[in-house]
């Protein structure tokens, strides 16, 4: 769909007030199209002209207020209307096309049984792929949906089911919602139902996933109920959309989407193989995140995409908070400190950085690009610190007043700040200016002066990066940790306010006995890059393995990883710390995140000469952890995955596939088998016959995706050529298969073979963007980027592409940010 500018949206909103859509879909055809009949009722300024987003294949008829509209009015993916009345009825009959890229009405054929599944994803500007619509967030309307489908199918929408007669489904009108939130699924879904506190619940998954859904339904329902109860404790307006259904759909571009009353998740959240506790916690957090959106985003919706943070920052914060409060996964703030906030910090330092709440988002293309670590994780971290300052009672009072004032409508940053300021009695305009309106991140460093074993002076030194001079106030914890009797324990926690100046002296520490470790930002209240004092940093390798608090360990790992990313500490030092501390780590999320991050840094920051030794040390750390992990535990599975990804011991990997030498309790199930085979393929120790044999034994959606990734990873010229041709030129492949092909393409072990494709990326990727759009295009261009081909030449080619006129904005951002990552890698190597 063409991008919608903010100016166009504002102009249209001044002319039009939409009342309702009645959408009648016929999904019984067998081709790549479906029938759509839509009745749109709206008010308008008499005599005005406007347009609707609309991308038909063919048009049977268009009438406005009973008069025919010429079909050419539906050209250019917009339907132009003129001579509007005060009350209008638009009726359109058209043929529309299914998609294979996760936008519009996505059609998927399950390789396991040949069944067809559909899901509707109208975000961010794709409603016109299904129906003519005023596709912007502040033109809310009620949706009434009717569907004719094959008799064996199940259909669900945002609205309550009113009647079903064979394949004919009628749903009740919804409350007023934005067009991008209109949801629909259809197909032979496997369904589980339940009820809680008067709210009907349902789960949907493909028939091929019936067994894992049945096995996991009790846990998913339990988390859903616990989160609903916690939100009802916090919010005065109960869940506002009738039923609460959750569908697990194939090839979904996002992790999940908050459609009111019918949340859709990617179906990897119902895995058929073993899960770690981290993966279970992540699923619980996403369930809570999407549930938070039922209030933040669905009940009250941003007026335009510059206030995206009103959706995502709040859902990110509440997802972590409610999961920790209400479920057995009480360690979500550890995950947030290490993983989620790290995502925000990385995004905030790239060339594409932007404020949490930008003053201007010019169009929907720019809006899509702001779905990043800043709008999610940075915004959530900023909220966490705000609440520490305001107090939770005032914060919740402000939110409830905000919901009451804007229920089923739209709101802005000013609206929310007004409610919070009134509830807390504090003027938040200054806070919003430095935290929400200005980009980039500050660095906080401890500066310590000692007299023997006591502190003479301790200060927090705050700096800002070049070009972003803002210093900010921070509420921050400082922990004093001592090593005694084989453990490291916190002696004291100070909570202090760091001023928006370059240096804040901490008088409370003057004359205090020096700690073995002085942990800045203990408790993780502040959003900032953190650097320890020299003595504490030197003690980390000794103290980290003995530190009992998982959040404190996560903060130390996060600071270490960040220092390596910045080139302040060598990757060899990180690898040494991994070998020393990770084998005794008990928190699965720390194990998984540290191994993942370290592997990525070794692949890019180590040279071709030093990488093999560094990778071997990572493999040794994972192997040691595997040896001491309880049989069948999450730690064991995380260690095994880490070992597989780092080892070059092909004989051991082959033995695992044959069921030999496998640690007791470790199930080499379908997905672990694919991971082992993938590593063998990368190392040149398995070929196409092995891939096809594995696929024959696992003819499933996941198996098909793994096979695509494995074929792309083969270190053979013909395999690389075939994979590259698919990435840049095959529009018939679905979004997921293209993404997995791109993810499997680049490997440091194959640099010589891959060298010609570095230049091809920069010359051929612009043409690929003509085939793909939106989130699918962003994921593909990022996965296909030659990130492991670290060289000045790669940067030269990137600069050439970035200088090209009219470069697609998605490709521009991916190349710009990926090139900045490579700049860091080259500096680290030097």
Residues marked as catalytic: 290
**Distance in angstroms (rounded) separating the CA atoms of residues 521 and 498:** 11
**Distance in angstroms (rounded) separating the CA atoms of residues 437 and 448:** 33
> Residues 6 or more apart from 7 whose CB is under 8 A from it?
none
**Distance in angstroms (rounded) separating the CA atoms of residues 120 and 823:** 40
For 377-424, the DSSP string reads IIHHHHHHHHHHHH-HHHHHHHHHHHHHHHTTEEE-HHHHHHHHHHHH
- The residue length of the chain stands at 830
Q: Tokens 């307006």 belong to which residue?
A: 237
**Distance in angstroms (rounded) separating the CA atoms of residues 402 and 445:** 38
The b/e string for 487-498 (b: 16+ C-beta within 10 A; e otherwise) is ebebeeeeebeb
DSSP-derived 3-state class of residue 778: helix
**Residue 19 CB: number of other CB atoms within 10 A?**
15
> Residues 6 or more apart from 489 whose CB is under 8 A from it?
481, 482, 548
**Distance in angstroms (rounded) separating the CA atoms of residues 707 and 688:** 9
Nearest Cα to Cα of residue 432 among 411, 419, 414: 414
* Structure-token pair, residue 180: 């991008």
**Distance in angstroms (rounded) separating the CA atoms of residues 248 and 227:** 19
The edge-to-edge listing of strands for the beta sheet with 487-498 is 487-498, 474-484, 517-520
DSSP-derived 3-state class of residue 177: strand
Q: Tokens 């942990």 belong to which residue?
A: 519
Strands 262-266 vs 244-249: parallel, antiparallel or unpaired:
parallel
Nearest Cα to Cα of residue 441 among 423, 460, 466, 421: 466
> Residues 6 or more apart from 430 whose CB is under 8 A from it?
none
**Distance in angstroms (rounded) separating the CA atoms of residues 482 and 460:** 20
Q: What share of the chain is helix, strand, coil (3-state, %, to 5)?
A: 45, 20, 30
Whether a cis peptide bond, with omega within 30° of 0, leads into 124 is: yes
**Distance in angstroms (rounded) separating the CA atoms of residues 634 and 123:** 35
For 131-172, the DSSP string reads S-B--STTS-BEEEEEEE--TT-EEEESSPEEEEETTEEEEP
Using alpha carbons only, how large is the chain's radius of gyration in Å? Answer: 27
Task: Give me the helices (H) in 407-529, please.
Answer: 413-424, 429-435
Identify the sign of the CA torsion 657, 658, 661, 666: positive
Instruction: Find the helix or strand (DSSP H, E) in which 59 lies.
Output: strand 58-64
List, in sequence order, every residue forming a beta bridge with 513; answer none if it has no partner: 454
Backbone angles phi, psi at 545, to 5 degrees: -65, -15
**Residue 793 CB: number of other CB atoms within 10 A?**
12
> Residues 6 or more apart from 418 whose CB is under 8 A from it?
none
* Structure-token pair, residue 93: 């009959």
In the DSSP assignment, the letter for residue 72 is G
**Distance in angstroms (rounded) separating the CA atoms of residues 335 and 285:** 10
**With the CA atoms of 396, 401, 405 and 410 taken in that order, what torsion angle do they form, in degrees rounded to the nearest 10?**
-20
Question: What separation in angstroms does the CA of 650 have from each of 27, 588, 657, 682?
Answer: 49, 26, 11, 11
């Amino acid at each position: 769909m063409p991008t919608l500018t903010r100016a166009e949206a504002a102009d249209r909103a001044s002319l039009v007030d939409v009342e309702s859509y009645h959408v009648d879909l016929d999904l019984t055809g067998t081709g790549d199209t479906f029938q759509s009949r839509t009745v749109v009722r709206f008010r308008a300024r008499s005599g005005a002209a406007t347009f609707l987003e609309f991308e038909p294949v063919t048009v049977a008829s268009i009438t406005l207020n009973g008069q025919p509209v010429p079909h050419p009015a539906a050209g250019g993916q917009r339907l132009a209307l003129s001579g509007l009345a005060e009350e209008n009825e638009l009726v359109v009959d058209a043929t529309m096309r299914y998609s294979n890229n996760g936008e519009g009405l996505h059609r998927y054929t399950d390789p396991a049984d040949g069944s067809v599944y559909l899901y509707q994803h109208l975000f961010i500007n794709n409603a016109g792929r299904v129906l003519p619509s005023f596709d912007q967030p502040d033109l809310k309307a009620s949706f009434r949906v009717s569907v004719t489908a094959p008799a064996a199918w199940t259909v669900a929408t945002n609205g309550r089911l009113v009647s079903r007669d064979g394949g004919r489904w009628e749903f009740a009108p919804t409350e007023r919602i934005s067009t991008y939130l209109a949801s629909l699924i259809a197909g032979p879904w496997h369904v589980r139902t339940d009820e809680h506190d008067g709210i009907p619940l349902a789960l949907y998954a493909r028939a091929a996933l019936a067994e894992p859904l049945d096995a996991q339904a009790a846990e998913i329902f339990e988390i859903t109920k616990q989160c609903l109860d916690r939100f009802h404790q916090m919010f005065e307006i109960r869940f506002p959309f009738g039923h609460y259904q959750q569908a697990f759909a194939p090839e979904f571009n996002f992790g999940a989407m908050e459609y009111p009353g019918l949340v859709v998740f990617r179906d990897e959240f119902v895995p058929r193989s073993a899960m770690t506790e981290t993966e279970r916690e992540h699923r619980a957090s996403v369930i809570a995140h999407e549930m938070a959106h039922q209030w933040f985003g669905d009940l009250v919706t941003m007026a335009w995409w510059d206030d995206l943070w009103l959706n995502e920052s709040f859902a990110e914060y509440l997802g972590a908070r409610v999961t920790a409060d209400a479920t057995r996964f009480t360690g979500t703030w550890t995950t947030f400190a290490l993983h989620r906030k790290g995502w925000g910090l990385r995004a905030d330092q790239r060339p594409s950085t932007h404020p949490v709440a930008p003053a201007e988002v010019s169009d929907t293309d720019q809006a899509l690009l702001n779905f990043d670590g800043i709008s999610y994780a940075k915004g959530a971290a900023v909220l966490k610190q705000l609440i520490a300052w305001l107090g939770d009672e005032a914060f919740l009072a402000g939110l409830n007043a905000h919901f009451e004032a804007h229920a089923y409508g739209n709101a802005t940053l000013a609206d929310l700040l007004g409610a919070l300021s009134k509830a807390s009695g504090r003027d938040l305009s200054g806070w919003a200016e430095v935290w929400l309106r200005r980009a980039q991140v500050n660095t906080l460093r401890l500066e310590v002066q000692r007299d023997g074993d006591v502190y003479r002076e301790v200060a927090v030194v705050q700096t800002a990066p070049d070009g972003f001079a803002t210093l900010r106030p921070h509420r921050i914890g400082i922990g004093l940790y001592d090593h005694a009797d084989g453990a490291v324990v916190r002696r004291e926690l100070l909570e202090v306010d760091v001023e928006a100046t370059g240096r804040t002296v901490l008088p409370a520490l003057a004359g205090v006995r020096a700690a073995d470790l002085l942990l800045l930002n203990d408790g993780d209240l502040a959003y900032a890059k953190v650097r320890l004092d020299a003595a504490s940093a030197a003690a980390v390798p000794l103290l980290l393995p003995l530190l009992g608090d998982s959040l404190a360990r996560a903060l130390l790992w996060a600071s270490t990883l960040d220092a390596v990313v910045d080139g302040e500490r060598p990757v060899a030092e990180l690898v040494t710390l991994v070998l020393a501390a990770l084998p005794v780590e008990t928190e699965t999320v720390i194990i998984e995140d540290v191994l993942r991050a370290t592997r990525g840094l070794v692949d890019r920051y180590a040279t071709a000469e030093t990488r093999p030794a560094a990778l071997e040390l990572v493999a040794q750390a994972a192997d040691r952890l595997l040896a001491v992990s309880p049989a069948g535990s999450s730690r064991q599975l995380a260690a095994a995955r880490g070992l597989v990804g780092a080892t070059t011991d092909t004989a051991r990997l082959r033995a695992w596939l044959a069921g030999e030498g496998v640690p007791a309790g470790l199930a080499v199930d379908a997905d672990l088998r694919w991971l082992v085979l993938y590593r063998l393929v990368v190392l040149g120790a398995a070929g196409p016959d092995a891939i096809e044999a594995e696929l024959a034994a696992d003819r499933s959606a996941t198996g098909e995706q793994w096979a695509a990734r494995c074929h792309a990873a083969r270190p053979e010229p013909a395999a690389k050529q075939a994979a590259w041709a698919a990435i840049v030129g095959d529009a018939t492949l679905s979004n997921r298969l293209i993404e997995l092909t791109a993810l499997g393409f680049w490997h440091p072990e194959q640099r010589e073979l891959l060298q010609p494709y570095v230049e091809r990326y920069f010359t051929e990727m612009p043409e690929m963007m003509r085939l793909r759009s939106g989130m699918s295009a962003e994921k593909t261009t990022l996965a296909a980027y030659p990130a492991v081909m670290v060289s000045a030449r790669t940067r030269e080619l990137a600069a050439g592409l970035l200088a090209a006129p009219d470069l697609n904005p998605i490709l521009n951002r991916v190349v710009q940010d990926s090139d900045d990552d490579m700049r860091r890698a080259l500096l680290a190597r030097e």
